[in-house]
């Protein structure tokens, strides 16, 4: 800072240089806001009578030149403010000067109060009075330490990870079921520290305590990923497929080899069981399975089907479990295995995806988008292309487009979850392939319910989580009694997906909505059945139920994560997925008490409670 020689600093001018760092912001998604950041600060400083010079999107070398040019216009007595968005600049300077780690500032505090001998911040010889400075800024520095300590305790409690070093300690929130931990962490940070942290930041693999603490101390750095996701969705929807579509293979009712993705999921397992039942006994089913190196992939399929009560040991003879990953090139298979798969497969059922309504798009991109592209490439790898049966979701229909069928006319703007966004992009890739001549049938699934004979259900489904939570805490919100669950039993869904008639058809309409719009389960019936099996539940207002759920969940980590999911996504808003033109509507008898009883029994046993019924 250039100063006059008087004891009290008297500023002739207030000047500022504001810079946005292009290098740093290109590598850090959460800081791609330098233009807005710099412009907002520029306006504020001009209101404070600053002379402001702004530079946008500079690389590190350009930043150094800009600072050098700025220094030439500084005169004695100026108050100088230098602001840069992105700490990559400091790291560059530190590397050039060979600075040690402790010599690099971790924080820059700009204070408009001058350092003078009168206020004790300078000695009479105009040197820094260090102990007075430490006392002067103690409260501010202590506040930061309090935030650091509270944040550290929250993360350790939620993730179970022991952390020590603020700057270098990374914490990880894993995908899948554990992603509910992200909701719990976000909720605790919001309640305790008053800042809402977007999920895309929490799930970053390189997130450290220090980075998260910096976001909490300076919330202006936080950008909601939903504000900028649409351009990426549009770009990803035009990903290069790099395929040549030749003649399609002849479809027969007697395939000899089927390639299935998603066999370790809920719908995928029932698809596999149904095909094993109705397809010829000499037909083999090659199932792509992602599993740990020491685990036999067939064991993952077996464990899943055992849990869903559909496993038969004879299945081993016809299932070829192939270790691989949708997100990898050629599914991670060696060349020979990939060539054999492309040559021998008669039809592909692509059901595999990460079904998660919490994770942001960027964490679902590899499996759901790139995985679909890999399936398309496999289908077109040989001169004779393999037809695809693609399992999509009604979630790709945004709220304003409920009557639309073609994905080309469905906008991505109103897709609220990363899952819906990833499936929308995947469908766009599928449609691009069909325009090139590939034969694909798309099934958009709505809410899929329990099996009509066994009650086997997806324990991680939102409706199942709601029912199991009600039975655990003994209360339900009164608003539920007038609502109806429009679920389609899984056995009805897979029965009609497996149809060669549709893929052989010359009908241009190859998109089917697999939903149940005619019948449903009333919550009143569910409540009555719960009471009939001996579980006491009481009706209270939604606000009371919400408070009760939050109170009980504090003593139960698993329930706390579930409660965050239910409350965050407002389960009690009734959504209709009915379309103006329903291509597929199964004939479904009314849900009776026997169906509900089977469903509830499976839920109770699945969560570790056996009522003896």
What are the pLDDT digits (tens) for 532-564?
A: 999 999 999 988 988 888 788 766 656 666 666
What average pLDDT does range 292-317 have in this prediction? 95
What average pLDDT does range 192-198 have in this prediction? 77
Q: Please give the angle made by the CA atoms of 244, 249 and 252, to the nearest 5 degrees.
A: 160
Domain residue ranges in the chain: 14-105, 140-223, 257-606
pLDDT at 139 over 50: yes
pLDDT averaged over the chain?
78
What are the pLDDT digits (tens) for 108-138?
A: 555 657 788 888 888 888 888 877 877 777 6
Range with the poorest average pLDDT among 14-18, 35-39, 52-56: 35-39
pLDDT at 329 over 50: yes
In 345-461, which ranges are continuous DSSP H helix? 361-364, 371-379, 418-435
Tell me if 14-105 shares its fold with 140-223. Answer: no
Sign of CA dihedral 322, 326, 327, 329: positive
Cα distance between residue 25 and residue 88, in whole Å: 9
| Close Cβ partners of 501 (under 8 Å, ≥ 6 residues apart) | none
Distance (Å) of CA 185 to CA 156, 215, 367, 490: 10, 15, 25, 33
pLDDT value of position 62: 59
Contact 590, 520 (CB under 8 A): no
What are the pLDDT digits (tens) for 74-99?
A: 666 666 666 666 545 566 667 777 77
Cα distance between residue 44 and residue 195, in whole Å: 23
Which has more pLDDT, 253 or 232? 232
Coil/strand/helix, residue 371: helix
Cα distance between residue 507 and residue 565, in whole Å: 41
Rg of the chain (C-alpha set): 30
The pTM assigned to this predicted structure is: 0.71
Coil/strand/helix, residue 440: strand
3-state secondary structure 229-257: HHHHHHHHCCCCCCCCCCCECCCCCCCCE
Q: Does domain 140-223 have CATH number 1.10.1200.10?
A: yes
What average pLDDT does range 590-609 have in this prediction? 83
Domain boundaries 257-606, corresponding CATH code: 3.40.50.720
Percent of the chain exceeding pLDDT 90 equals: 36
Which phi and psi angles does 436 have, rounded to 5°?
-85, -5
pLDDT value of position 574: 43
Cα distance between residue 311 and residue 321, in whole Å: 15
pLDDT at 586 over 60: no
DSSP secondary-structure letter at 278?
H
Which has more pLDDT, 201 or 542? 542
Cα distance between residue 547 and residue 116, in whole Å: 54
What average pLDDT does range 44-61 have in this prediction? 64
| Close Cβ partners of 327 (under 8 Å, ≥ 6 residues apart) | 366, 367, 370, 371
What are the pLDDT digits (tens) for 452-480?
A: 999 999 998 888 989 999 998 999 999 88
What average pLDDT does range 375-400 have in this prediction? 90
What average pLDDT does range 161-188 have in this prediction? 63
pLDDT value of position 220: 67
pLDDT at 435 over 50: yes
Q: How many CB atoms lie within 10 A of CB 109?
A: 9
Architecture of domain 14-105: 3-Layer(aba) Sandwich (3.40)
CA atoms within 13 A on the CB side of 120: 7
């Amino acid at each position: 800072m250039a100063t006059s020689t008087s004891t009290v600093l008297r500023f002739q001018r207030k000047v500022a240089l504001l810079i946005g760092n292009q290098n740093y912001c290109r590598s850090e998604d959460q800081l791609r806001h330098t233009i807005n950041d710099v412009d907002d600060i520029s306006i504020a400083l001009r209101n404070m009578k600053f002379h402001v010079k702004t530079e946008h999107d500079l690389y590190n070398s350009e930043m150094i030149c800009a600072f050098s040019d700025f220094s030439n216009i500084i005169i004695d007595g100026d108050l100088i403010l230098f602001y840069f968005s992105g700490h990559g600049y400091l790291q560059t300077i530190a590397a050039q000067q060979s600075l040690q780690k402790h010599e690099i500032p971790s924080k820059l505090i700009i204070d408009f109060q001058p350092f003078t001998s009168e206020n004790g911040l300078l000695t009479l010889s105009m040197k820094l009075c260090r102990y007075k400075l430490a006392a002067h800024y103690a409260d501010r520095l202590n506040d930061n330490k309090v935030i650091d300590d509270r944040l550290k305790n929250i993360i350790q409690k939620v993730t179970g990870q022991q952390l020590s070093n603020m700057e270098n300690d990374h914490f990880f929130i894993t995908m899948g079921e554990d992603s509910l931990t992200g909701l719990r962490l976000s909720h605790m940070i919001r309640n305790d520290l008053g800042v809402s942290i977007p999920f895309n930041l929490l799930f970053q693999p390189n997130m450290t305590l220090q980075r998260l603490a910096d976001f909490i101390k300076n919330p202006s750095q936080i950008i909601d990923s939903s504000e900028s996701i649409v351009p990426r969705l549009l770009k990803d929807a035009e990903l290069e497929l790099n395929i040549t579509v030749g003649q399609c293979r002849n479809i027969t009712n007697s395939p000899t080899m089927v390639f299935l993705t998603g066999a370790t999921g809920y719908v995928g397992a029932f698809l596999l069981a149904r095909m094993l039942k109705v397809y010829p006994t000499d037909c083999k089913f090659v199932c792509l399975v992602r599993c740990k190196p020491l685990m036999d992939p067939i064991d993952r399929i077996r464990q899943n089907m055992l849990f869903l009560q559909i496993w038969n040991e004879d299945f081993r003879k016809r299932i070829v479990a192939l270790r691989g990953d949708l997100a990898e090139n050629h599914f991670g298979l060696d060349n020979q295995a990939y060539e054999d798969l492309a040559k021998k497969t008669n039809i592909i059922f692509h059901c595999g995806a990460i079904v998660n309504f919490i994770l942001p798009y960027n964490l679902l991109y590899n499996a759901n988008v790139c995985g679909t592209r890999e399936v398309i490439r496999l289908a077109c790898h040989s001169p004779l292309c393999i037809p695809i049966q693609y399992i999509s979701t009604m979630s790709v229909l945004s709220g304003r487009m409920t009557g639309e069928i073609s994905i080309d006319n469905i906008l991505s703007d109103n897709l609220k979850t990363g899952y819906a966004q990833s499936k929308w992009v995947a469908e766009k890739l599928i449609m691009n392939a069909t325009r090139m001549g590939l034969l694909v049938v798309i099934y958009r699934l709505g809410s899929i319910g329990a099996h009509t004979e066994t009650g086997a259900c997806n324990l991680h489904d939102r409706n199942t989580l709601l029912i199991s939570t009600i039975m655990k805490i003994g209360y339900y919100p009164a608003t539920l009694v007038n609502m109806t669950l429009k679920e389609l039993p899984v056995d009805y869904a897979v029965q009609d997906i497996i149809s060669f008639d549709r893929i052989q058809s010359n009908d241009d309409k190859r998109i089917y909505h697999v939903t149940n719009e005619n019948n449903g389960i009333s919550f009143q019936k569910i409540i009555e059945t719960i009471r009939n099996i001996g579980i006491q539940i009481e009706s209270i207002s939604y606000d009371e139920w919400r408070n009760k759920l939050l109170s009980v969940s504090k003593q139960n980590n698993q329930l706390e994560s579930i409660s965050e999911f239910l409350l965050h996504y407002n389960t009690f808003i009734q959504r209709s997925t009915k379309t103006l033109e329903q291509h597929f509507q199964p004939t479904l008898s009314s849900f009776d008490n026997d169906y509900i009883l089977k469903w509830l029994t499976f839920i109770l046993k699945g969560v570790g409670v056996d009522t003896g019924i």
